[in-house]
Structures are given as structure tokens and as C-alpha cells.
Amino acid sequence: MSNTFLSKVVAERAALAVINRSYSGNRQLTGLSSPAIEQWRSKVALPAGHLLVQTLVRLGDVAQTLSNKSNESFMPLTAEVKVTLDQLMAQLTAQVKALHSEGS
């Protein structure tokens, strides 16, 4: 990705897309802030310590870090942060798939 602010937006949209493909209507995740994640968790009846919730919180934390650098919007995304985002997105995708496999 070309810069940290753009990376934040793309990461948030990707995470929301993974979750919202599986949940419709008022059960969709609206953002990666702690209140948004908590509201979603409650609506879908997941326990507070669920691995999927933890992954969303970590993604939100990384996205917030990128947001804090929005005044440096043309700074490149570091390889370390990109790897972290990629790992978290892979975990999120696998966890959503596993959660829905359990319910089938």
C-alpha cells in the first residue's frame, strides 16, 4: 500500500467485509473501534474473550496506530506492519470460517 492512512482504510474495509459477508442487517460490524466491536459481539452472542473478538480488537489497534499517523499520509507502510495486517486478516478469515462451520 502506498501510505499509512490509505492502508488503514483498506484494512478496515477488508476486515468489515470478512465479517459482514456472514452477518446481515443489524448484526453487521460497523467499525473496528472498541465500542463497535463490543456492540457487534453482543448482537451475535459471542463471549467477550472469543478468539474472533480478540482478533478484531487487534486489527482495530493496528488500524488506530495507522490512523494516528494520518498527518504523515504519504509515509510508506512498514513491512512489519504489513505482515501484521496480513497475518491478522488471515486469522480473521479462518476464524469466521471455523465459527460458521461449527454452526452448520
Note the pTM of the prediction, 2 decimals: 0.84
Instruction: Select from 24, 22, 92, 81 the least CA-distant residue to 57.
Output: 92
Residue 102 has φ and ψ, to the nearest 5°, of -65, -35
For residue 101, which amino acid is it? S
Residues, the chain, total? 104
| Whole-number Å distance between alpha carbons of 51 and 95 | 8
Would the pLDDT of 103 be above 90? no
pLDDT at residue number 7 = 79
What total of structural domains would you count in the chain?
Answer: 1
- Cβ 62 vs Cβ 81: under 8 Å: yes
| Whole-number Å distance between alpha carbons of 40 and 76 | 32
Domain that holds residue 11: 4-103
Per-residue pLDDT reduced to its tens digit, 41-60:
999 999 999 999 999 999 99
